[in-house]
């Protein structure tokens, strides 16, 4: 019996020992302090997550490289000269300008006004806000694509956007279209975040983005038709109408703040765009992507990619953010002259988003090769836009060339007269490129800033205005519509032909420059 009890005690001890070994090893392994060289990498998952969040950086850097290259090379064209003139005015002068023209652009002019006070008025400085806008748009578009679809879709969307010729064209222009595209992308991203996560501040950010969109480009508010479709789809899918009140409130507040801007713009519509509506033709609608992307070959490719992207069920609602604003623009253009392809640039990021969804169906190497093909197809257009911001069918208006001739041949005491009743803004350009060396404007009755417009009022007594001058320059831009050579206004031409002799004439693209010497 003693042997049996001893055997039982031994067996019992062995079992407990094995149990204790098993249960003891886990806490020892979990709590032992290891040297730092072999410590488990507890922070690595967090670092990988932070790295994954930088997927927007590649498209942003590509957009910066493509758009920033030769930023100063294209000379300022007439729309940029209007920006230069408006944004360089004082607060009182800018308010006076808004009473007669460009009231809808005053928010953008104020942005440029403060920017120029810091950065100056060189072509590079004037265009840098637009460059920064397309860089930020590429980044936000990548984030939007990754939130709605996949990281791959977002990256491809951002890369495609970065290499498009239209992005370079409007990213290298001192006008509000690039900033409006940024506001449209930001508003769409804020709407997605607000619908997914709710929260008062997300709806506030959405309202601010809509306000910025309308302030920069009033026509771009047609995007709200697409946003309404997104809200309805979300409500139907979740069987909850809770997003409607905050969405409606955000849009109402933003649009209410824009009512004065819209009323002023409506009053000036005929002055700026003409009285006759010119809606797009059916053929124009078919080739719309070519007009928006500013490339025939790329437009067709984008159309094909968008159609493939819509095959993804998740992308069909997103397609409405493109189709509905386009339909709204076509409808409005039947009664108002607002139709122009450049006014639709704000939709290009969303078009690239659909194309990115299609590209994301392929492996990374094939998708990147597709981006490369798009970039190569756009090279001729990229080269053209770095030489001129005019239409392909229009002759370059060589303001720099005209200024260079005057700078080389001018003498102290020279005067200058202009043909300036068109939209070329020859006087603004010559004053900009010559600076303090510009000859005296002999016919100016008062400054354009005081007059509250882009055109300097002229004296009617041209002979008396030129009475004390021995050499007079005449700068005559071609007709902006026909491209045919113009002549000076009749009072100035009569005075010059009577009292002066035409000494020499120069011809540069888009300009005639004459030098008259008193007899």
For the stretch 143-186, pLDDT in tens is 999 999 999 999 999 999 999 999 999 999 999 999 999 999 99
pLDDT greater than 80 at residue 45? no
Helix axes 106-119, 78-87, angle to 10 degrees: 80
Residue 374: per-residue pLDDT: 97
pLDDT at 271: 81
Domains in the chain: boundaries: 2-36, 56-385, 399-518
Q: How far apart are CA 263 and CA 197, in angstroms?
A: 36
pLDDT of 34 over the 80 cut: no
Q: Within 13 Å of residue 395, how many CA atoms lie on the same side as its CB?
A: 18
The average pLDDT across 229-243 equals: 91
Per-residue pLDDT for 9 more than 60? no
pLDDT for residue 17 is more than 90: no
* pLDDT > 90: percent of the chain: 75
HSE-up (13 A, CA, CB side) for residue 519: 8
Burial of 96 (0-12, 13-18, 19+ CB in 10 A): middle
Q: Is the pLDDT of residue 394 over 90?
A: no
Query: Which residue would you say has higher pLDDT here, 392 or 112?
Result: 112
Q: Where are the beta strands (DSSP E) in 321-390?
A: none
Q: Which of 111, 166, 211, 212 is nearest to 345 (CA)?
A: 166
User: What is the structure's pLDDT at 52?
Assistant: 58
- pLDDT at residue 287 above 80? yes
Instruction: Please check the confidence at residue 204 and state whether its pLDDT lies above 50.
Output: yes
Residue 485: what pLDDT? 87
DSSP assignment of 298-309, as one string?
HHHHHHHHHHHH
Q: Which has the higher per-residue pLDDT, 227 or 21? A: 227
DSSP-derived 3-state class of residue 500: strand
Report whether 337 contacts 269 (CB < 8 A). Answer: yes
Name the average pLDDT for the chain: 89
The pLDDT score that the predictor gives to residue 36 is 35
Nearest to 278 by CA among 205, 333, 353: 333
Asked if the model's pLDDT at residue 46 lies above 70, the reply is no
Looking at the predicted structure, is the pLDDT value of residue 251 above 90?
yes
Q: Considering only CA atoms, which of 84, 139, 150 is closest in space to residue 115? A: 84
Q: Is the pTM of this model over 0.75?
A: yes
**How many residues are recorded in the chain?**
519
pLDDT for 396-454, tens place per residue?
899 999 999 999 999 999 999 999 888 889 999 999 999 999 999 999 999 999 999 99
**Helix H or strand E encompassing 329:** helix 315-333
Q: pLDDT tens digit string along 299-325?
A: 999 999 999 999 888 898 889 999 999
Exposure string (b/e) for 247-279, b if CB count within 10 Å is 16 or more? beebbeebbeebeebeeebeebeeeebeeeeeb
With a cut of 70, say whether residue 495 has pLDDT above it.
yes
Q: Indicate if the pLDDT at residue 29 is higher than 70.
A: no
* Cα separation, 338 vs 332, whole angstroms: 8
* 21 confidence band (pLDDT: 50, 70, 90): very low
Burial 321-338 (b: 16+ CB within 10 A, else e): bbebbbebbbebbeebbb
């Amino acid at each position: 019996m003693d042997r049996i009890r001893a055997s039982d005690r031994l067996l019992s001890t062995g079992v407990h020992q094995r149990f204790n070994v098993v249960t003891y090893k886990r806490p020892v392994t979990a709590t032992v302090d290891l040297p730092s060289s072999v410590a488990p990498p507890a922070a690595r998952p967090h670092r990988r997550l932070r790295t994954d969040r930088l997927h927007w950086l590649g498209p942003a850097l590509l957009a910066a490289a493509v758009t920033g290259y030769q930023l100063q090379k294209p000379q300022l064209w007439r729309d940029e000269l209007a920006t230069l003139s408006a944004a360089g005015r004082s607060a009182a002068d800018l308010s006076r300008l808004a009473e007669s023209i460009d009231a809808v652009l005053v928010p953008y002019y104020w942005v440029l006004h403060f920017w120029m006070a810091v950065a100056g008025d060189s072509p590079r400085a004037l265009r840098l806000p637009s460059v920064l806008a397309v860089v930020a748009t590429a980044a936000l578009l990548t984030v939007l694509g990754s939130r709605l679809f996949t990281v791959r879709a977002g990256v491809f969307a951002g890369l495609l956007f970065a290499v498009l010729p239209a992005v370079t064209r409007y990213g290298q222009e001192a006008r509000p279209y690039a900033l409006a595209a940024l506001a449209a992308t930001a508003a769409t991203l804020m709407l997605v975040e607000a619908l997914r996560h709710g929260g008062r501040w997300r709806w506030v950010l959405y309202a601010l983005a809509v306000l910025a969109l309308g302030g920069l480009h009033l026509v771009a508010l047609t995007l709200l038709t697409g946003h309404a479709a997104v809200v309805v789809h979300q409500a139907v899918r979740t069987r909850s109408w809770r997003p409607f009140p905050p969405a409606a409130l955000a849009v109402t507040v933003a649009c209410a703040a824009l009512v004065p801007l819209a009323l002023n713009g409506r009053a000036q519509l005929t002055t700026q765009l003409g009285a006759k509506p010119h809606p797009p033709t059916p053929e124009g609608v078919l080739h719309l992507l070519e007009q928006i992307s500013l490339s025939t070959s790329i437009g067709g490719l984008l159309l094909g990619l968008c159609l493939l992207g819509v095959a993804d069920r998740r992308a069909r609602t997103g397609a409405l953010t493109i189709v509905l604003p386009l339909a709204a623009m076509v409808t409005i253009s039947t009664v108002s002259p607002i139709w122009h392809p450049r006014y639709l640039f704000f939709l290009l990021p969303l078009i690239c988003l659909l194309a990115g969804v299609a590209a994301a169906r392929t492996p990374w190497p094939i998708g990147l090769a597709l981006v490369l093909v798009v970039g190569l197809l756009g090279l001729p257009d990229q080269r053209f836009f770095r030489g001129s911001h005019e239409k392909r069918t229009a002759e370059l208006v060589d303001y720099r060339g005209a200024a260079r001739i005057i700078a080389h041949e001018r003498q102290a005491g020279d005067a200058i007269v202009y043909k300036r009743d068109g939209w070329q803004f020859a006087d603004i350009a010559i004053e900009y490129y010559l600076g303090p060396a510009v000859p005296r404007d002999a016919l100016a009755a008062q400054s354009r800033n005081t007059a509250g417009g882009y055109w300097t009022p002229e004296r009617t007594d041209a002979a008396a205005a030129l009475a004390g001058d021995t050499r007079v320059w005449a700068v005559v831009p071609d007709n902006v519509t026909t491209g045919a050579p113009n002549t000076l206004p009749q009072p100035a031409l009569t005075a010059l032909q009577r009292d002066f002799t035409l000494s020499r004439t120069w011809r540069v693209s888009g300009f005639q420059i004459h030098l008259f010497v008193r007899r």
